[in-house]
Amino acid sequence: MTLLQAMLQPWHWAIGGFLIGLTVPLLLLLGNKAFGISSSLRHICAACFPADISFFKYDWKAQKWNLFFAGGILIGAFIAAHWMQGNGEMEIAAATKVKLEQYHLHNYQGLLPHEIFNWSNVFTGKGLVFFVIGGFLVGFGTRYAGGCTSGHSIMGLSNLQWPSLVATICFMAGGFLSANVIVPWLFSILN
């Protein structure tokens, strides 16, 4: 098996976790940098839209490494989506398939359910809820928590930061609540 063939096969989840985990000590060793993605949007806004807003008045150029990091994520995602697609069908557990059928989600060949995430839904009630309101809540929560899941759950926990533990517990509780209560309720009223 060649390296390319091995890369096109599904990988065990622990490999991804191990590689993400290596990011933390690597960033600390290479310049005492903190891992996190949500701050990239702040840097982009400070660079592209200079305004008289105190939140954006800082030396964003000192954090430009973070913009390259986020750009690398986008480039890597593009490469993976266009040239590293495996030939096999995505495996979904039988119990998950039954649950998705209850939500009227039948097209789950990709990572996102096509019944929700498609261009024809952008200007519908479903699009308003999942794209606009959901996006606002994610952005608000990220600012309110002082960082995103990668910043708190990966970097903060590895540095034994108490606020990151609290934030991660809240992320997980919110995820469980959303997946088991809020999203099923939304599907019941939007379908």
- The DSSP-derived string for 20-72 is HHHHHHHHHHTTSPPP-SHHHHHHHHHHHS--S-GGG-S-GGGGHHHHHHHHH
Q: What is the amino acid identity at position 128?
A: L
How far is the C-alpha of 54 from the C-alpha of 60, rounded, in Å? 13
Q: Under a CB-based contact definition with an 8 Å cutoff, are residues 170 and 147 in contact?
A: no
If one counts the domains in the chain, the total is 2
Q: What is the pLDDT of residues 55-108, one digit of tens each?
A: 888 888 888 888 898 899 999 989 888 877 766 666 778 888 888 888 877 776
* Residue owning tokens 């600390």: 28
pLDDT tens for each residue of 148-173? 888 888 888 888 899 999 999 999 99
Q: Are 141 and 134 in contact (CB under 8 A)?
A: no
Please give the helix or strand (H or E) that residue 137 lies within, else none: helix 134-145
Residues 84 and 96 in one domain: no
Domain of residue 131: give its range: 92-191
Q: 112 falls in which pLDDT band (50, 70, 90)?
A: confident
Residue where a domain terminates, one of 41, 72, 88: 88
Whether 52 contacts 39, CB under 8 Å: no
| Residue at which a domain ends, from 88, 123, 138 | 88
Indicate if 111 and 173 belong to the same structural domain. Answer: yes
pLDDT for res 172: 92
Both 102 and 79 in a single domain? no
Q: Round to whole Å and give the CA distance between 78 and 157.
A: 29
Task: Say if CB 104 and CB 115 are below 8 A apart.
Answer: yes
State residue 184's pLDDT score. 86
Give the type of residue at 42: R
Give 17-70 pLDDT, tens digit per residue. Answer: 898 888 888 888 888 888 778 888 888 888 888 778 888 888 888 888 888 988
Minimum mean pLDDT range among 4-8, 22-26, 75-79, 142-146: 4-8
Same domain flag for 146 and 183? yes
* 12 pLDDT above the threshold of 80: yes
The token duo for 95 is 């119990």
For helices 64-83 and 38-48, angle between their N-to-C axes, nearest 10 degrees: 110
